[in-house]
Each structure stands twice: as C-alpha cells, then as structure tokens.
Structure 1
Amino acid sequence: MHRSAAPNRKLDSSFGEPAFASPSKDEQQLLAVPFCGSIRGGMRPGKKITIMGIVDPEPDGFDISLTCGCDDVALEVSARFEDRQLLRNAHVSGSWGEEEMAIPFFPFLAGQPFRLEIHCEHQSFRVLLDGQPLFDFCHRVRSLTSIDTIQISGSLSLTKLN
C-alpha cells in the first residue's frame, strides 16, 4: 500500500445487480485471479459485495480493492501473511491516506476457504469475515456511486462473487 500512484486499472468483466451475477458458464475462467470486474450502478448504502474464496496453501498475501474506474481507490484491503496483518487504505486525489491496521486477530488461514462481505453503509464500509464483524472503514471517497470496480489479486482462488 506504499504506492506512489494508482495502479493500472483495466476492466475485464461486467456483472449485474445486486453487486454481481456470476454466470454459471465458464465461471472458473471469469473468476481467475487477478480479477477485475464492474460494479453496476456503483456502491450505495445498503449494497453488499460477497467474495468467497480459498487462500493458497503457501500464501504471501492478497489485495481486494474497490475503485472508481482507473482513478481513486475507495478501499484497499491487503492481507499480509508473513506479519499477519490486514491493512486498509484509500487512494484519493492522487495520494494514499493513513493506513489502518488494527484488528482483533488475523482471520485468514493458509489453504482455508473464506467468505468476505463488504457492506456499504452511510458513513463506512462494514467488513465481515465468515459472518463475524472484522472492521469498519470510514468512507474517504465522497461519491459512493463512483465506486464502480472491484479488483482482486494475490495468493487466493475465487469461488464465487455476489
């Protein structure tokens, strides 16, 4: 998350309401990591994204980002296995903000499945893992509907996106 500029962003897939509609045909190919897809209509309070996956057997880390097209990053979640940290940050108007790292425990295990939910609320994103609250991240991007892209990369396999 110590980047000087926004990463190169490119759309490969487009999904429908509520956040995504995972097609059954060629689903494995569409959910290949690194993954980049559209959030139709952008984010808004009440909208939820569910990411189901399996951590690689020997993971380094992975990143999940909600972005405004190729510009601002509204939320970047970075799981780092070596130091067991779950970092959160945003990249707005050309610069990264203050990184948040406090969590009660490191929730991911090598080789294990997970279900991560990102709930968009009025003031923040509420993130749950396997149904348990993990952290809240206050919105730093003003226009929630401009958050229209999800990107996932790193040491994991995706099984489903809703």
Structure 2
Amino acid sequence: MAVSATEKDGINTDDDKLNHSFGNPGLISPDRQDARQLAVPFSGRIKGGMRPGKKIIVMGIVDPEPESFDISLTCGCGSGEKPPADVALELRARFEDRQFLRKARVSGAWGEEEKPIPYFPFIEDQPFRIEIHCEHQRFRIFVDGHQLFDFYHRVASLPAIDTIRINGSLQITKLG
C-alpha cells in the first residue's frame, strides 16, 4: 500500500519541515499547527494510542535554572479535560531535591507516587534523551540509554493512551 510522505509512520501533517523536526515522524502529531510546534507546554496526539512494542522518545535540553518538568501520557485527547481523568504515566523531574518520580491517575484519582531512584539523570543546561517503551504489563523508562525503572500499567486499555503532554523547565529538540 502506498503511503504519502505526510502519512509516513502515521504522522498527520502536511508540513515536511515538521517531519524533519521529529525524531520518528509519525508517532506524535502536535495539537497546534504552527512554527512553535515543539514549544513547551506541549500537547500532541499519539497516533493509534499505545500498544506493546511502541516507543516514545523525548529529546530536549534542561533549562539553565530548572525547577521541574513533567512528561505525561494521558487518555482522551479530544475530551478537553484539564486535568484528564486518566493519566497512564506521569514522569516528574524535580531539581530542588533531585528526584525523578512517577505516578498515575485512574478514574480521576491520583495513585501514590512511586519511590524515587538513587540516580538523578538530569543536569542543568544539558541535553537528555528519554525513552518510554510500552510492554504488555509495563512501561520501561530509559534516560540517555540507561534503564532507570519500570512502571506497571494502571490504565487497562493501552490504545486509550493517546496524548503526550510536556511541561516545565525544558526545551524539546526532538519528539517521536
């Protein structure tokens, strides 16, 4: 089946420049269609939702004087809920106490934040690469090629996880 350049790997855009700004064109389509598509705060649709074998990559640079940043995988991109009822995974990097935390929100209720890890992988004013690998029972989180932790699914329907939201003290350089 022939696929146009704008539909390659599932990205929904007519802007070839956008395809080159994403690490993997096709996985994520920004909610806004303008020159600031990777600006923070960022919200984009995950084409087809999550499924085992799917991977999300966020590359960026930490701000020079960061407070925190978060990356969330949420359900119901079209619902307009703020915050959404279900957040399958929220990763939060807090610089004041050097913690990288994770939690989920199911049916409108936040679960307990998972314990921090001994290693804080982010440095002020430096680039990073976060990979979120979706498996059958969990997300595997890697930063700069190092596996940091697993986060077991709380949201039952993986395809319902259809939005990525990024906020805080960072610049996004590539997203896929």
Length-normalised TM-score, structure 2: 0.78
> Aligned-pair distance for 1:21?
6.4
* Deviations 1:2-59 (CA, angstroms, capped at 9, x unpaired): xxxxxxxxxxxx945752368xx96x61000000000010000000000000000000
**Kept in 2: contact 1:21–1:161 (CA 8 A):** no
Q: CA RMSD in A?
A: 1.9
Q: Residue type of the partner of 1:151?
A: R
Q: Does 1:129 align with 2:143?
A: yes
Q: Which amino acid aligns with 1:155?
A: S
Question: Identity percentage over the alignment?
Answer: 66
User: Partner of 2:52: helix, strand, or coil?
Assistant: coil
* Residue number in structure 2 paired with 1:7: none
Partner of 1:63: 70
Deviation sequence 1:57-105 (CA, Å, 0-9, x none): 0000001000002330000001000011111000001111111023130
Aligned equivalents of 1:93 and 1:128: distance in 2?
A: 27
- Matched residue count: 146
Partner of 2:93: 79
Change in CA separation of 1:146 and 1:21 when aligned onto 2, cut-off 3 Å: closer
CA distance in 2, matches of 1:15, 1:99: 33
Map of 2:46 onto structure 1: 39
Asked whether the 8 Å contact 2:29–2:46 carries over to 1, the reply is no
Once the two structures are superposed, the pairs formed by residues 9-158 of structure 1 within 5 Å of their partners are 15-16=11-12, 18-20=26-28, 29-69=36-76, 70-158=84-172
What SS class does the counterpart of residue 145 from structure 1 fall into? helix
What residue ranges of structure 2 are gaps of 5+ in the alignment? 1-9, 13-24, 77-83
Provide the rounded CA distance (Å) in 2 between the counterparts of 1:29 and 1:108. 24
TM-score norm. by structure 1 comes to: 0.84
Unaligned runs of 5+ in 1: 1-13
